[in-house]
Amino acid sequence: MEGGSIQVTSTDGHRPVLIFRSLGLIGDPFGVWRADEGDSLPLALSTHAAANRLYSALVDGVSQERSTPVWAEKPLDKSAFLAIRTTGEILHTLTQDDSFGVLPAYAQLQTMRGGRVRGALAALADKLAGAGFDLTLAAWTRGALAAPDTELPEWGPLAAADLDLLMELLERAPAETAEEVYGPLASEREGLRDDLEVLLRIGEARRARQEDDPEETDDADEDDEGDPGREVFAEPLGPETAAAIADGRRAGGDRGPLAADVAAYVVAYTAKNLSPVMGRALRAYIAQGTSSAAQEMRVTKAPRKTLGALARFASARFGKVALIWDRFDGWDSISPDMRMKIALALTEMRWGLAEHGILVILAEPGLAPELEEQFAAAKRVSWDMSDQDVFEAMGDAYDEDLVRVWLESAALPGARVWTPADEPFATLAAECGGSLERFARAASAAVVCAAERAAESFGEEDLAAGRAALAEGA
C-alpha cells in the first residue's frame, strides 16, 4: 500500500518543484520575490533560502526507509517574524505542491496540554482530511484493490467483477473516480451544517471519554467499543446523501462493480488491515464529509498507534508525513519532570510514525537542552538569516556571497552545487548593472527556462531568457 505515486499538482498556479530536480535544485533559488506584493528582496530570498534548506532535508528524509529527525535551528538574534514567515512558506508550499512528496502536519508545544500525542494526532487528522483527501483516498483504494484481502466478506461482490478500468481510472483520474465511489469531495455534506453544533458537542464528549496520555503498548486496542456515539458521524444527515450512497451506480464503467460495494470493501479492508479508527473515518467521509472524518480520526484509545495509522494511510499518496513541532519558547517554564515526558513523547511519536514520517523540531539552539540531548543525532538545518544584514548594509549592490548562499541553500542532497561563477549566473552578474534585484529577476528567468526544458545544465537559451528579463527591467 505504501509509497504510492505522487500526484504532481500545484493548486496555487506555481510551478511544481519537481521540474527543478534535473538541475539538482530543490526549487528556484530566486523565484519567490514579488516586488508587486510588497516584499523586499532580502526578506523574501533570505527566508526562502532557509525554507529551501529544510525542504532539502525533508526530500532527503523521504528517500530513507526510517528517516532521521530534523532540527531546524531558529536564529537567536533575529525577529521571531522571520521564523514565522519561513514556517508559513514551508507549510503553504508543501501543502500546495505534491511533488515534494511530503504532507506537513504542524503542531505547537501548547497542544500537548490535551495529551502529549493527541495534539499531533489532531494536527495530522486535520491536515489529512483537508489536503486533497479524495486523492489520498483514491491512492489507498487502488492499493486495497491491487492486493485484496480475500478473506473479507465484503470482497465477495468484487471477486468476479471487472476491476481493470477502475484501477486504471484510480491512477489516471483519481479525483473523479474517488467521487464516483465515495461521493463528491466536501467538508460538509447535506444536513451537516444544521446539526453542526450538536455534532461538535458529541465529538468533544467522545474524545473526553479517552485518557489524555494512556499507557500504550504496540498491541493496544484503538477502538472504544463502549462509545455510545460511535455511529453518529457515520450516518447520512440528509435524504439526498442517503439516496446517493444507495443509488446503484457503478464505478469504472458499465461493467465495473457497484460503487457501494467498492466503498464497503475499502472501509472493511481499512478497519482490519490499518485501523478501526480510520475505517470509521472513511464511513464518516462517505456520510458527512471531511469535517466529520477529521473528528472521527481523533477518537481513539491508543493515540500513538492511530497517529502511525494515519501516517501510513497518507503514504499511499505521499512519500512521508512531516510532523512539525514548534513554539518551544516557553520551555524553561515547564517542570523538569514534564520536560522529560515531552521528550519521551516526541521520541515515541518518531517511532510511531515508523517509515511513514519525519519528525521535525523548530527551536533555537540551547533553548530546550533535554530535547537536544534526546535528539542529538537529528539532522541540523540552519535558519541563519544574516544575509539580510549584508543586504541592508550594501543596499541593492550585487553581492557574490549572497548569491552563493541562495544557490547553496537550493541544492538537492548530493547534487552539484551551482556557484556565482557558473554560467549563466556569471554573465548575468556582469550585465545586471550592479543591481542585485535585477540579477535575481534575470537569474530566476534563466533557472525556470532550463527547468522547463528538463535540462541537466544551463545553455545559451537560458542565458537569453535571463537577458530578456534584464531588458524588461531596464
C-alpha grid cell, residue 178 = 474517488
Q: Which of 241-245, 359-363, 433-437 has the lowest mean pLDDT?
A: 241-245
pLDDT tens for each residue of 445-473: 999 999 999 999 999 999 999 999 999 97
Report whether pLDDT(9) > 70.
no
pLDDT at position 340 over 60: yes
For residue 235, is it left (φ>0), alpha (ψ between -120 and 50) or beta? beta
Residues 6+ apart with CB under 8 A from 231: none
Query: Cα separation of 98 and 134, whole Å?
Result: 14
| Stated length of the chain | 474
CB 186 within 8 A of CB 20: no
Residues 38-50, mean pLDDT to the nearest whole number: 83
Cell of 164: 481493470
Cα separation, 184 vs 61, in Å, equals 34
> Across residues 417-424, what is the average pLDDT?
98
Which percentage of the chain shows pLDDT scores above 90? 69
Closest Cα partner for 236 from 180, 170, 186?
186
C-alpha cell at 120: 499531533
The tens digit of pLDDT for each residue in 107-160 reads 999 999 999 999 999 999 999 998 799 999 999 999 999 999 999 999 999 999
Residue type, 288: Q
Instruction: Annotate 222-232 with b (16+ C-beta within 10 A) or e (fewer).
Output: bbbeebeebeb
| The pLDDT of residue 40 is above 90 | no
Distances from the Cα of 397 to the Cα of 405, 446, 467, angstroms: 16, 20, 18
Distances (CA, A) of 384 to 76, 94, 412: 9, 21, 19
Ramachandran area for residue 224 (φ above 0: left; ψ -120 to 50: alpha; else beta) = beta
Q: Which three cell numbers stand for residue 405?
A: 548562499
pLDDT band at 384 (very low <50, low <70, confident <90, very high): confident
Name the residue type at position 316. Answer: A
d(CA 115, CA 119): 6
Quote the Cα angle for 231-236-241, to 5°.
Answer: 160
